Structure 1
Amino acid sequence: MDSRTFRNAMGTFATGITIITTEIDGEVSGMTANAFMSVSLDPKLVLISIDKKAKMLEKIQKTKKYGISILSSDQLQESMNFAGQIKEKIDVDFDRVGDMPVLKGALLNLSCNLADIHEAGDHILFIGEVMEMKINEGDPLLYFGGKYRNLVMNESLAH
């Protein structure tokens, strides 16, 4: 199978959207990612997967810490911005959780210290220990079939 077919097949798994952030010398860098998962409750660990060609890779390797913001349904523009899909620069409202910059208004903000790194094909897996978090109310921004989506609750399934 070719890479495009595999990518399309993996797109049948609906995911939330995250913005991964870190800071070097007062300059915040970020990227959009949907490769995120919880790994462990004790210790509290999460995993992100970053392409070896991504600019964020060396920044996280250098800082050894990062923020994760799980986006709400009204943060489509932020997702597109950090994915490089918007050419003009937009103003981004950052907050801080612990010592990490995170997106204001996200459903969840995490501050992580790098716990482990694993090479996996053309990506690097970063396992982070969650140091602090902030939870907000709202609905998630989703990604499915190569498109952004919003959550619609079907009442017949909500039992």
Structure 2
Amino acid sequence: MDNRLFRDAMGKFATGVTVILTETDGDPHGMTANAFMSVSLDPKLVVISIKENARMLSKIQESKKFSVNILAAQQEDISMIFAGQLKDQQVSFGRLADMPVIPDALAQVACEVSAEYVEGDHTLFIGRVKDIKLEDGNPLLYFAGRYRNLEDLAEVSN
């Protein structure tokens, strides 16, 4: 099977959009990701997946912590900044459990790395959740290679 077929099949799974942040030497570092999921309620654990050639990989390995910021529908520009699609844009950060977070994200989840596993061309980081902050709103979604919102998906299904 070719890579395009695999990517197209995976793109049929609608996901939320997150920005993963960490901090080294007082400097925040981030990337847009949709490879995120909850793992356990007791203890509270999540997992993120970082590609082997991503700059974030060594940053998280160094800091041993990260935050997951689940973006709201109106935060597409934030996603594009951390995906490298919008250049020279400034982002302000909030703080949660001594971690940088994205203000107004639907959820901010601060984590300490409890384990890491190399699988294929990615490293999976298991994060022990230290703190959470929630906001009301609708999620930013990604489906079939495009940003979407809940109203878009309703139109796609009709």
The TM-score with structure 2 as length reference comes to 0.94
Q: Which ranges of structure 1 fall in alignment gaps of 5 or more residues?
A: 155-159
Instruction: Show the counterpart of 1:80.
Output: 80
Amino acid at match of 1:41: L
Runs (4+) of structure 1 moved beyond 3 Å? none
The one-letter amino acid of 1:37's match is M
Q: 1:115 and 2:114 equivalent?
A: yes
Q: What is the CA–CA distance in structure 2 between the aligned matches of 1:11 and 1:26, rounded to whole Å?
A: 35
- Partner of 1:74, secondary structure, is helix
- Counterpart check, 1:55 vs 2:76: no
Equivalences for residues 1-159 of structure 1 within 5 A: 1-87=1-87, 89-152=88-151
- The amino acid across from 2:11 in the alignment is G
List gaps (5 residues or longer) in structure 2.
Answer: none
Q: For 1:130 and 1:86, how far apart are their aligned partners in 2?
A: 30
What TM-score do the two structures reach when normalised by structure 1?
0.94
Identity within the alignment, %: 56
Q: Deviations over 1:94-134 (max 9, x none)?
A: 11110100100100001100011111101110000000010
Q: Distance in 1 between matches of 2:126 and 2:106?
A: 21
Secondary structure of 1:9's counterpart equals helix
Q: How many residues align?
A: 153
- Report the Cα distance in structure 2 between the residues aligned to 1:13 and 1:119, rounded to whole angstroms: 23
Give 1:93 deviation, angstroms.
Answer: 2.0
Bigger share in helix:
2
Give the superposition deviation at 1:26.
1.2
